[in-house]
Amino acid sequence: AEPLEILSISNSKDTLMTGDGLSPKVLGVADDVLVTEEDTPLNLTEIFSIRDIDARDMAIPDDERSGGSIEVTVTAVHGKVAMPIYDMSSVLFLEPSQWSNTSKSSLVQFVASVSTANSLVGGLIFFPDRDWHGSTAQVRVMCSDRGNYGLGGIKTGSQRVLINVLSVNDEPTLAGPESESIASFFIDEGESIRLLGTNFEDAYVTHLRRAGDTEAIDAYFLSESPDKVPYVLNRPEPHEEYELWRSGVSGTGKDVVDNAYYTAMEADPEFGWRHVAVGHNISRHKFLAASPSYFTELGGILYFAANDHSRYGAELWRSDGTTVSLVSDILPGPESSSPQYLVVYNDRLYFGAIGVDDRSWRLPIEHSDECDGMRQSSFDSRVFLVVSEENIWNPGYTYDCPRDYHWMTSTEAYQIFTGRNVGASTGDGGNFEYDTSFEQMTYFGQCGWFGYEWGSRNRHHFRFADSHLTGTYKSAGSPDSRRPDLDPIRNGEISLRVDKFAGVVCVLDDSQSSGSATGGELWVSDGSHTGTIRATEINPGDSHSHANVSYLTVFDGALFFSANDGVHGAEPYRFVAEDDRGRGTARLLSDLRRGPESSKPRYFTGCGGLLWFAANDGLHGEELFVSTGALGFLDREVGDAAHSGSFPEIGGAGTWMTADVATGRTSSSPASLTCLGGSTLLFAATQGRTGRELWRASFNTSVTIELVRDIFRGSRSSNPKYLTVYNRRAYFTADDGEHGVELWSTDGTAYGTKLVTDIRSGLASSSPHFLTPFNNRLYFVAKQDAGRSTLVPRATQLWSTDGITTSKVYDHTESLFDVDFNALDAAWPPRLGSLGTEALFFPARRGGTPVIGGVSRGYARGSGLVPSTQAFAVYDADEYDELSLQLNIEPPESGTLTLTQLAGARIVKGDGTLDPHLMLRGSMLQINNALAHLLFSAKSGFNGLATIRASIADTCENYQNTSCANSMEAISNVFIRQINEPPTITITSLSDNPIIYFTDPDLTETSFGIDPRSGKTIFPRVLVNLTAEPGLISLSRTAGLSFLQGDGVLDKVQVFEATIEDANRAVARLRYSSSSSSSSAEDRIYVSINDNGYSGATGPKEASAILNITTST
């Protein structure tokens, strides 16, 4: 055989021959010959040609592929290639396995005759990568004769051409949160809000849409990591990321996926799992995954964690199998409580989460006071007094303040409350000798309270976050401004008063971004919003004090898990429910790794009356531990009130390491623990001699640990995973070195450990995942053989087995769905969700499959990079160009804009503080970073729709010789709610004729339409109260007044409703008749007006005044 050569054109017409006179020599190509512009295809017609002299000598006809075929590989750097093909039957494509005249790829591999191969490579077209420019692009053609021509083995030849892609100015793109007619934010007059709703991904996708690059759009939407791209489908927008799906598992035959979807695509229906989307999409961002996970059934309802990426973040959800709904926004607002490791214990759902639990201890809504159990201080509007349902204080317990507030400390209290603190707080208006302000009481007699009493309970003391240490409290009977009082000190120690507890003092917290008072803790839910509360507090402190409750498991009537109390590190804990709402106390099982470092216990599994788990004591690496469930030495004298007797207190001897499988500090890393039955525990572990294999632990009078079988002989690992018991056998996945990763089963003995089936024959792996017993069979997801090309992996399919027969659940299943492996693997144990006997549940999306290629810009799926949300987002392929961003508010009187950070951008219009118009200049990165810190402040007096209109443009500084007048607009809408402003009373004394005049700044802005009888506008009515002391009053007129008390003539008290105009006419000439017998006395008329709350939100507002009258006889 002789070498294969590739000819390429040059400026020379010479033909040079090699020494044997038979093989042509390859001629080079000048590097500067091939030039194209950014995003412009380059035709490589007749650039490459292929010749094999051996094939010619053997006189093999060109139309025969046997014997005379060659293998051609075309690779493109910084781009893709396309090639026309007119006879598909004459070419065998290896990569990709399917090809058409519209296909493009950076790697093309095919087998064809020499003449057919020449027709293909002679028509190559090079497509530069989107937005790329530079001089290092290239196309290389490599040929192999596959050793078909005599002795000497395989001969190859290759040639490349370099391509210079010239830079072209690209239009900048701008993304905003919504369309012209929709408001994305709702705030009150005078309030400020950080503008959010879009991110860099949206701007990048907008750029691709404007360019019409549907292939790049599909690749970006569905890519899960930089080495993944999807099937190329012209797909509609719904279901583009992982959502909650269900699969029927009964019957055979076709498993049709969403006929309506494919009808809309004008394509024949494809076949996949029998998937049905459950309810609406949970994620409100079409390119971000909801990723449902931690599936658990309770009372015929499926519970799980999911992220809507909008209003709620990652929270607790539920489904009846047809619809989904939110259980509770545990961490209110768009941030995430991140529920994890859901488990059912005592007919309730327990899990770890970060949240706000203010409603579990506050006054219930159904019998709250007139202030909703949360009175705003009249001394400092940032401060609220929040009332507790119980009036017995639990010192050291964290009483969560509502969202956006934190529990005030004693130090803060002394800084905020500056009033004098002399004499006892009596609740009778203060100590008038010293407190001369006559201000409102903290809560005494307020909000409908009868003195200190509400709900038949006495409530005196509002506590601070550190009151259990300082003894400080705010008395309900003290003036609002009074400094904190102290519990009595007896024998040099503070004697804490736990009775007459009123609640806590909360203060507005602009800095607490997480909104959580305690960080991650153990939570419990009965499936309702009000029944979702914190079960216990393990790591007391602020929002950064995370107990990180994980791997929850029920064992012997108690709940066991890993948690960190902030003192001992992450260690095993035991929890027992102690009240009718599921709350209780968590107690340290054992401090396995003494001190503040963590043993990090995980995979808790009950078996043979013992609790097994993996942990690292710091001396032996991560090994297998076992426990009786008895409390360790730190809590040996503490019992469980609701579970006494079940756990004998025997000190630390109740928990111990079973064996040092990997000796020394090396870890055997036990995982996939499962109880085979009786006292036999199976698990995967690593030992140097055997690699990672299947092990067995059993307990009689002592623990025995031994290897079950070295499935992959020698030191290499079979890596058993997903151990699950079904029909008295344990099933798992493993690789024996001969069959790839396939399904195995065992009875716990070496002889009884066998391969169940080889789904993908040979060394290829079907990689079964998420083994789930369901409806008397074992279900799992796996890959089927890819067909003639094993180079192209396929998406997963649903399979089942009874231990004898293993098959796809449906006869026709063709891989059109991807399952979210990361979401399912996060749970313990990692399984598909199930509800009753009807269906399996899982996070899925329409199909994508990993192949060579991927995206290079933006955020790659699965990369761990989560794009931040901001007001607007900018993308410019020319990322270093200077851009100009204009921001305008329409109408200008509606509000202002403030940039809290510039991040390197420059302000060229406005000053960045309370501006109706702003202009910024900077790079794409600088402007995006600045837009993440844009505030909108609504002006008082304006209500309705405000529009922030943004436009982006090139400054053209880098393109003097080209046209670059490129710009784009986007908007963000804010609806400003009208807020009711309080009325005012003006009293003017003009000798003996005082004038009372009522005004309301917003009452005239509200009307109830037109009176059909009079044709006049109907304005809201106000409520006026006039009380004389001690005389009588008479109004000048009563027209338009509706009296609730009195009649307008010589009344001690007059209460009437009227428009503000009629009320002013009635009191314009008020007459007062004194009943005082004194020769000189000062009488009073008490005046109040209530606007009835008709002119905006926040309820009725009232004003009051006193008219002093001096009379003489």
Asked if residue 684 has pLDDT above 90, the reply is yes
Residues 6+ apart with CB under 8 A from 854: 219, 223, 225, 226, 227, 228, 229, 860
Q: Is the pLDDT of residue 59 over 50?
A: no
- The pLDDT-based confidence of 346 (bands split at 50, 70, 90) is very high
Which residue, among 980, 944, 943, has the nearest Cα to 1096 in the 3D structure? 980
Q: Note the pLDDT of residue 294.
A: 95
Query: What are the pLDDT digits (tens) for 154-208?
Result: 788 889 999 999 888 888 888 887 544 444 577 778 888 888 777 777 777 778 7
- Alpha carbon distance 337, 316 (integer Å): 8
- At 555 the three-state DSSP class reads strand
| pLDDT score of 711 | 93
pLDDT at 692: 94
369 token code pair: 């006071």
Helical ranges in 443-491 per DSSP H: 467-470
Tens of pLDDT, residues 508-548: 876 644 455 567 899 999 999 888 999 998 887 655 667 89
pTM exceeds 0.85 for this model: no
- Considering the chain, what is the average pLDDT of its residues? 78
CB atoms within 10 A of CB 1073: 12
High-pLDDT (> 90) share of the chain, % = 35
Mean pLDDT, rounded, for 299-309 = 90
Q: In whole angstroms, give the CA distance from residue 430 to residue 476.
A: 11
- Residues whose CB falls within 8 Å of the CB of residue 877, separated by 6 or more in sequence, listed in order: 130, 131, 170, 207
Residue 943 has pLDDT above 70, yes or no: yes
More confident residue, 1001 or 461: 461
Report the C-alpha dihedral over residues 620, 625, 629, 632, rounded to 10 degrees: -10
**293: helix, strand or coil:** strand
Q: How many CB atoms lie within 10 A of CB 449?
A: 22
pLDDT in tens, 414-430: 999 988 766 555 544 44
Q: Can you tell me the distance from the alpha carbon of 118 to that of 114, in angstroms, rounded to the nearest whole number?
A: 6
Higher pLDDT, 326 or 1004: 326
Using DSSP's 3-state secondary structure scheme, residue 1104 falls into: strand
In this predicted structure, which of 61-70, 218-227, 1000-1009 has the lowest mean pLDDT? 218-227
pLDDT at 433 over 50: no
Residue 867 has pLDDT above 50, yes or no: no
722 to 462, 684, 843: CA distances (angstroms): 53, 10, 18
Residue 366 vs residue 726, higher pLDDT: 726
The reported pLDDT for the residue numbered 795 is 53
The DSSP result for 858-902, as a single string, is: S--TTSS--PPPBS-EEE-SSTTS-EEEEEEEESGGGEEEEES--
Structure-token pair, residue 1069: 């000439």
Nearest residue to 872 via CA among 888, 893, 896: 888
Q: Compute the C-alpha angle 973/978/979, nearest 5°.
A: 130
**Separation of alpha carbons 832 and 769, rounded Å:** 9
214-222 helix and 200-211 helix, angle to the nearest 10 degrees: 150
> Is the pLDDT score of 469 beyond 60?
yes
For 1059-1086, what is the mean pLDDT? Answer: 80
pLDDT at 2 over 60: no
Q: Is the preceding omega at residue 1030 within 30 degrees of 0, hence cis? A: yes
Q: What is the DSSP letter of 651?
A: G
pLDDT at 786: 39
Query: Where is pLDDT greater, at 38 or 746?
Result: 746
Question: Where do the DSSP E strands lie in 736-828?
Answer: 741-746, 754-757, 769-774, 777-782, 797-801, 806-808, 817-819
Do β-strands 501-508 and 461-463 pair in parallel, antiparallel, or remain unpaired? parallel
Q: What confidence tens digit (pLDDT) does each residue in 1010-1046 have?
A: 665 666 777 788 899 999 988 899 998 888 888 888 9
The pLDDT score that the predictor gives to residue 173 is: 86
280 pLDDT tier (thresholds 50, 70, 90): very low
Residues 132 and 166: their CA atoms lie apart, in Å, by 9
Burial level of 911, CB count in 10 A (0-12/13-18/19+)? Answer: exposed
The C-alpha angle 701, 703, 705, rounded to 5 degrees, equals: 145
Quick count: other Cβ atoms within 10 Å of Cβ 362?
A: 22
